[in-house]
Amino acid sequence: MVETLSIAVIGAPGVGKTSIIRQFIYNDFSEVYTPTRTRYVYRPSVILNGNMYDLKILDVPPISSFPSRGPWWSAERWLGVRNANAYILVYDICCVESFEYVKMIRQQIMEHREGSSSEVPILVVGSKRDLQRQRFTPRRAVSVLVKKTWKCGYVECSAKFNWHVVLLFKELLGIAVGRGMKQNHTPGIRLQGALQRNRCTVM
Please count the other Cβ atoms lying within 10 Å of the Cβ belonging to residue 115: 7
- Return phi, psi of residue 37, to 5°: -105, -25
Contact 55, 203 (CB under 8 A): no
Q: What is the pLDDT of residues 59-116, one digit of tens each?
A: 998 876 444 445 556 555 566 788 899 999 999 999 999 999 999 999 888 887 765 5
SS (H, E, C) the chain: CCEEEEEEEEECCCCCHHHHHHHHHHCCCCCCCCCCCCCEEECCEEEECCEEEEEEEEECCCCCCCCCCCHHHHCHHHHHHHCCCEEEEEEECCCHHHHHHHHHHHHHHHHHCCCCHHHCCEEEEEECHHHHHHCCCCHHHHHHHHHHHCCCEEEECECCCCECHHHHHHHHHHHHHHHHCCCCCCCCCCEEEEECCCCCCCC
Q: What is the pLDDT of residues 10-55, one digit of tens each?
A: 999 999 999 999 999 999 999 998 888 888 999 999 988 788 889 9
Distance CA 88, CA 169 (A): 9
Nearest to 25 by CA among 38, 11, 42: 42
Which residues fall within 8 angstroms of residue 64, CB to CB, at 6 or more apart?
Answer: none
Contact 30, 19 (CB under 8 A): yes
What pLDDT band is residue 199 in, cutting at 50, 70 and 90? very low
Q: What is the pTM of this model?
A: 0.85
Domains parsed from the chain with CATH numbers:
3-180 (3.40.50.300)
Which residues fall within 8 angstroms of residue 196, CB to CB, at 6 or more apart?
Answer: 25, 26, 44
